[in-house]
């Protein structure tokens, strides 16, 4: 009879130790998963949580201190395209280099959503495209843009996009890029770009 109690006690201790070991392993796996999260992963998770809700925005502070409410539309390797919400009238879109984000200012539910595990899937083509490719597309379309850099804002049309910089023909907002309208050309390194807005 005493042996039965002893074996029950040993079995209970082994069960408890095994549960504690499994719990410690699960905590360590979660720490490792969180340690591998990138800013892009967290922004993507916030955007997926918002779904198709047109009012769902992510508040972002960019280098230089500007704060914008963005509705992410697509993510590339090192950039995000988004609807730009704010006091300016009309639907505007923008391209934000992820390196230009100084801080994300999420709400409580967005923080929780950003930490959830996202099921692994084969990366879509857009997720492998870098910033130069997207800027070349804007250049090809000859869309007038407002370019925000670390040093200020300027309006114009992208003339050329090279490997690590672009040429912007500067002209007044609301005018078409014509030689007589161009006030000058700015060659801007990509790493100085904070925001490219258009539309």
* pLDDT tens per residue, range 129-160: 999 999 999 999 999 999 999 999 999 999 99
- Residue 167, judged by CB atoms within 10 A of its CB (0-12, 13-18, 19+), counts as middle
The pair of structure tokens assigned to 69 is 């409410």
The pair of structure tokens assigned to 159 is 């003339």
What single DSSP character describes residue 37? Answer: -
Q: Are 80 and 74 in contact (CB under 8 A)?
A: yes
* Helix, strand, coil share of the chain (percent; to 5): 40, 35, 30
* pLDDT tens per residue, range 121-131: 545 677 789 99
Q: What is the pTM of this model?
A: 0.79
| Buried b or exposed e, range 21-36, using 16+ CB within 10 angstroms | eeeeeeeeeeeeeeee
* pLDDT tens per residue, range 51-94: 777 678 999 999 999 999 999 999 999 999 999 986 555 558 99
* pLDDT tens per residue, range 10-56: 677 777 777 877 777 777 777 777 778 889 989 988 988 877 776 78
Q: What are the φ and ψ backbone dihedral angles of 187, each rounded to 5 degrees? A: -100, 115
């Amino acid at each position: 009879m005493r042996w039965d109690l002893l074996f029950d006690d040993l079995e209970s201790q082994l069960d408890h130790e095994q549960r504690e070991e499994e719990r410690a392993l699960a905590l360590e796996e979660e720490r490792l998963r969180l340690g591998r999260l990138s800013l892009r992963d967290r922004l993507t998770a916030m955007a997926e949580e918002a779904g198709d809700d047109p009012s769902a925005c992510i508040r972002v502070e960019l280098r230089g201190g500007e704060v914008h409410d963005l509705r992410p539309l697509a993510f590339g390797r090192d950039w995000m395209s988004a609807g730009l919400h704010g006091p300016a009238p009309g639907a505007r879109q923008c391209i934000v280099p992820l390196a230009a984000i100084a801080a994300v200012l999420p709400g409580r539910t967005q923080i929780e959503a950003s930490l959830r595990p996202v099921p692994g899937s084969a990366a879509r083509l857009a997720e492998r495209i870098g910033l130069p490719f997207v800027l070349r597309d804007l250049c090809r379309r000859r869309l007038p843009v407002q370019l925000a850099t670390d040093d200020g804002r300027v309006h114009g049309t992208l003339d050329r996009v090279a490997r690590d910089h672009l040429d912007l023909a500067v002209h007044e907002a609301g005018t078409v890029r014509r030689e007589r309208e161009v006030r000058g050309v700015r060659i801007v390194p990509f790493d100085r770009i904070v925001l490219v807005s258009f539309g």
